[in-house]
Chains A and B, each alone.
Chain A
Amino acid sequence: METFLSIDLRVWWFLVVGAVFSGYAILDGFDLGAGALHLFFRREESRRIALNAIGPVWDGNEVWLVIGGGALFAGFPEVYASVFSAFYIPFMLFVVALIFRAISIEFRSKEPMAWWRLTWDIGYSAASIVITLLLGVLLGNLIQGIAIGPGFVYQGTTLDFINPYSLLTAVTTLALFTMHGAIYLAMKTEKRQHARLTVMVKNTSRFFGITFITLTMVTLIYIPQMADRFREHPILFLVPAVTMLSTINIRRLAEKRKYWQSFLFSGMVSALLLVLVSIGLFPTIVPSTIDPAYDMTVYNSASSFPSLKNMLIIAAIGVPIVATYTIFVFWTFRGKVLLDETSY
């Protein structure tokens, strides 16, 4: 066994994968949320402003998904292979939705006709909602576990991914991202549109609060083992406590019109929810519903130590660079949206 700072390399890599997906939730979360809210804007100019608010950054945000997929493939190939082949249909719908979303954003501004623009507005919004829901469905299934059998091969059926619990996590994810997106848009808009968005921030944060509490209770009742880790190490209860306080803070800061700070907290909540799930499952990554012997854990599904070591070096070099210029790009496009000749 190889370690770094006396922590197993496999655990390190689990943290890296977790960090990348958290980054994805924070970043793509707000532009997916903005997409989900898109049709609530009625006027052409409002829609353009909403679209251009995410215009320069959505592509970069989506790259975190690509990095996350690669990181999972590199660090935990067994998990990557089993989960992706188990959820064949949802993943295919997911990529098709990603394609539709990308081309809707790109194509919308290319023609002036109202029907053309409405078509891509609907495509953009529907794809954003579908992507968000599918992400939530996946998360829900990972928490409950999936029918993994010998050799980590999936034994379930095509439509197992749809179940009450995964639908609940899907709705919660949608609530979270729409809230996150509404705050982002509130930060980027002015006047009437801004006024409408302050109402949306209120409604979506209320919606998220309700779904989040429901989800927590349902999880504690039906998947009580998710709380085991917390009971073993009571200090971990800090995490849910901080999540709760942050959630309250989102609303409080938004009402004080401190959108930037509020946005930071909603980003933090997006990441903390994944942290909560990870703590609840650890060291398991995907529980098997057939037999705990087939659980996929950090220890039995990772790549070799030499590979993990190489990848950690790559991540140590790459992540700070990416973080630096991501901040630079966001800084370049700070402030309210201004439409000019280069806009969508």
Chain B
Amino acid sequence: MSVEILSRLQFAFTVAFHYLYPPLSIGLGVMLVIMEGMFLRTKDPHWEQLTRFWIKIFALIFGIGVATGIVMEFEFGTNWAAYSRYVGDIFGSALAAEGIFAFALESGFLGILIFGWNRVSSRVHFISTIMVALGSMFSAIWIVVANSWMQTPAGFTIEGEGMQARAVVTDFWAMVFNPSSIDRLTHVLLGAFLAGSFLVLSVHAWYILKGRFVEPSKKAFKAALILAGIAAVAQLFSGHSSAKLIAEHQPAKLAAFEGHYDSLAVGDLYIFGFVDQKKEEVRGIAMPGMLSFLTHEDFEKPLPGLRSFPVEERPKQVNFVFQTYHFMVLIGMGLIGLTLLAGFLWWRGRLFDYPWLMRIFAISVVLPQVANQLGWYSAEVGRQPWVVYNLLRTSDALSKAVTAEQVWFSLILFTLVYLLLLFLFLYLLNKKIKHGPAFSEKEEEVPSYSKRY
């Protein structure tokens, strides 16, 4: 395999693995603020124990998120040196701002969150929780800004030619608020809220099913359900807004989302389907004209199709982009249905009367995770062959000094290490959840090794 394919594989693998954790930290961060805030307001010891329990899980998730995140920062330089030279002026700024404004805030206060219970007042502890939650959101802001700039570059000029060409910032705020920043950031944050709240929902649904910690679990479940419901519904609007934006700025990507080839035809919206990339057509069930309607409020308006772009300027993996995009939407719809149903039952006072509902919630923790992953796959593969849209090709972004053997070495290394890491993470998470929060006074009798985790 070529250095390009290997480097892309490695980046995709390491970033996908990394992205299992930050959305959980962001969503859980918000849940922690809610739980600890409730504790300070009501003085209900249940909320305190819930906060303590989830901070321990947060710490586990956060630790792996940071460790796998440094890999990403280094890979820009190791594998994508030409890219780094080209965008250093812009992408580097965002990355540095992320480090100084976000990571420092998160890591600094995390120590107090975990170890500071007996050392600071409850108010200072709560402020630390808010700082950690803010820090995790700030990191999303800067990295999504950087990624959005790669999708819809703005506020820059190109200096030099050929190999010496560099993107140079001309307007910092235009670069930060490039056309897709806000929409994509909203989409990412909502996805993260879903990931975090569904983890809480899942664990407490499981406790309720098992008849353990039932009272506090009901409280936590309801709090998480509110966040999940709001985020799920808001995600629909955010997704719609993002898609309209893509229609305007990255028409080839939108065409790939729906496998839309013919520029003279109206855009159909597929419920599901299969893209035959050879024949350049889609087989499946579609709502005719719906894509045109959603992007231009007009069922009759033709949309630019993939054929109107030269073959070397459109994504190759159309079916992959189509499927990942459609599964993401499908899961999003499912999450809306599930949270609305639960909300309805709560209103009727029967939220906890149906074990099957709790069972669904217990396993539904994977759904937002999968949707978050799929969303990124379609966004990033749909941008190909560009790494910076219409400016720099992925194949031109590689490190010239790096050989295929070197990338093989690191790819195998990461695969082994990450598999081990995932296994251990799931094992310990499972153990910690089974152990559960400490609600009884007998806590003192628990042997010391299990006290923190």
**Interface of A toward B, CB cutoff 8 Å:** 52, 55-57, 59-60, 62-63, 65-67, 69-78, 80-89, 91-92, 94-96, 98-103, 105-107, 109-112, 151-155, 158, 303-304, 306-307, 310-311, 314-315, 318-319, 322, 325-326, 329, 332-333, 339-344
| Structural contact, A103 and B89, CB atoms closer than 8 A | no
B66, B99, B452: the one within 8 Å of A70 (CB): B99
| Structural contact, A60 and B107, CB atoms closer than 8 A | yes
Query: Which of A151, A152, A303 has most chain B Cβ within 10 Å?
Result: A303
Stretch of B24-32, B108-116, B321-329, B346-354 contacting A (4+ beta carbons < 8 Å): B108-116
Residues in A neighbouring B104, C-beta threshold 8 A: 60, 63, 67, 318, 322, 326
Say if the beta carbon of B310 comes within 8 Å of chain A.
no
Residues in A neighbouring B131, C-beta threshold 8 A: 325
| Structural contact, B115 and A314, CB atoms closer than 8 A | no
| Structural contact, B73 and A103, CB atoms closer than 8 A | no
| Structural contact, A73 and B77, CB atoms closer than 8 A | yes
Q: With A and B bound together, what is the CA distance between A151 and B81 in angstroms?
A: 11
A299 to chain B, nearest CB (A): 15
| Structural contact, B449 and A83, CB atoms closer than 8 A | no
| Structural contact, A81 and B93, CB atoms closer than 8 A | no
Q: Closest residue to A318 on the B side, CB-wise?
A: B100
Say if the beta carbon of B4 comes within 8 Å of chain A.
no
B90 to chain A, nearest CB (A): 7
**Interface of B toward A, CB cutoff 8 Å:** 59-60, 63-64, 66-71, 73-74, 76-79, 81-82, 84-85, 87-93, 95-101, 103-105, 107-112, 114-120, 131, 159, 163-164, 166, 168-170, 172, 399-403, 405-406, 409-410, 413-414, 417, 421, 424, 428, 431-432, 443, 447-453
The majority secondary structure among interface residues of chain A is helix
| Structural contact, A59 and B111, CB atoms closer than 8 A | yes
| Structural contact, B169 and A307, CB atoms closer than 8 A | yes
| Structural contact, A110 and B63, CB atoms closer than 8 A | no
Q: With A and B bound together, what is the CA distance between A94 and B414 in angstroms?
A: 12
8 tightest Cβ-Cβ pairs between the two chains A and B? A77-B88, A84-B77, A56-B111, A74-B92, A70-B96, A73-B92, A85-B399, A318-B100
Contact A84 B424, CB 8 Å, known A70-B99, A310-B169: no
| Structural contact, B70 and A65, CB atoms closer than 8 A | yes
Subset of 28 A-B contacts with CB under 8 Å: A56-B114, A59-B63, A60-B108, A66-B73, A70-B98, A75-B92, A80-B92, A81-B85, A85-B79, A85-B81, A85-B402, A92-B410, A96-B413, A99-B67, A103-B67, A106-B60, A107-B428, A109-B449, A158-B405, A304-B166, A307-B89, A314-B93, A322-B108, A325-B131, A332-B116, A333-B111, A333-B119, A341-B443
| Structural contact, B401 and A88, CB atoms closer than 8 A | yes
Residues in A neighbouring B447, C-beta threshold 8 A: 112
Q: With A and B bound together, what is the CA distance between A101 and B64 in angstroms?
A: 11
Q: Closest residue to A68 on the B side, CB-wise?
A: B99
Q: With A and B bound together, what is the CA distance between A74 and B93 in angstroms?
A: 5
| Structural contact, A304 and B168, CB atoms closer than 8 A | yes
Q: Closest residue to A304 on the B side, CB-wise?
A: B168
Q: With A and B bound together, what is the CA distance between A55 and B93 in angstroms?
A: 30
Q: With A and B bound together, what is the CA distance between A82 and B85 in angstroms?
A: 9
| Structural contact, B74 and A81, CB atoms closer than 8 A | no
Q: Closest residue to B62 on the A side, CB-wise?
A: A59
Q: With A and B bound together, what is the CA distance between A86 and B63 in angstroms?
A: 29
| Structural contact, A55 and B115, CB atoms closer than 8 A | yes
| Structural contact, A315 and B100, CB atoms closer than 8 A | yes
A281 to chain B, nearest CB (A): 20
A170 to chain B, nearest CB (A): 19
| Structural contact, B403 and A70, CB atoms closer than 8 A | no
Residues in A neighbouring B428, C-beta threshold 8 A: 107, 110
Residues in B neighbouring A154, C-beta threshold 8 A: 400-401
Contact A158 B73, CB 8 Å, known A77-B92, A306-B168, A306-B172: no
Q: With A and B bound together, what is the CA distance between A81 and B95 in angstroms?
A: 14
Query: Which of B70, B77, B159 has most chain A Cβ within 10 Å?
Result: B77
| Structural contact, B84 and A69, CB atoms closer than 8 A | no
| Structural contact, B78 and A106, CB atoms closer than 8 A | no
Residues in A neighbouring B108, C-beta threshold 8 A: 60, 63, 322, 325-326, 329
Contact A80 B93, CB 8 Å, known A107-B428, A341-B452, A342-B118: no
| Structural contact, B431 and A110, CB atoms closer than 8 A | yes
Q: Beyond A70-B99, A154-B401, A306-B170: 4 further Cβ-contacts under 8 Å?
A: A70-B73, A155-B401, A325-B131, A333-B116
Residues in B neighbouring A57, C-beta threshold 8 A: 111
Residues in B neighbouring A342, C-beta threshold 8 A: 114-115, 117-118, 451-452
Q: With A and B bound together, what is the CA distance between A72 and B73 in angstroms?
A: 11
| Structural contact, B70 and A332, CB atoms closer than 8 A | no
Q: With A and B bound together, what is the CA distance between A110 and B100 in angstroms?
A: 31
| Structural contact, A69 and B74, CB atoms closer than 8 A | yes
A55, A73, A332: the one within 8 Å of B119 (CB): A332
| Structural contact, A307 and B68, CB atoms closer than 8 A | no
Q: With A and B bound together, what is the CA distance between A92 and B417 in angstroms?
A: 12
Q: With A and B bound together, what is the CA distance between A343 and B447 in angstroms?
A: 13
Q: With A and B bound together, what is the CA distance between A303 and B166 in angstroms?
A: 9
A63, A98, A155: the one within 8 Å of B67 (CB): A98
Q: Closest residue to B142 on the A side, CB-wise?
A: A70
Residues in B neighbouring A83, C-beta threshold 8 A: 77
| Structural contact, B119 and A311, CB atoms closer than 8 A | no
Q: With A and B bound together, what is the CA distance between A72 and B76 in angstroms?
A: 12
Residues in A neighbouring B116, C-beta threshold 8 A: 56, 332-333
Residues in B neighbouring A102, C-beta threshold 8 A: 63-64, 66-67
Q: With A and B bound together, what is the CA distance between A341 and B116 in angstroms?
A: 11
Residues in A neighbouring B166, C-beta threshold 8 A: 304
Q: With A and B bound together, what is the CA distance between A307 and B155 in angstroms?
A: 11
Q: With A and B bound together, what is the CA distance between A333 and B168 in angstroms?
A: 44
Q: With A and B bound together, what is the CA distance between A237 and B452 in angstroms?
A: 51
| Structural contact, A103 and B111, CB atoms closer than 8 A | no
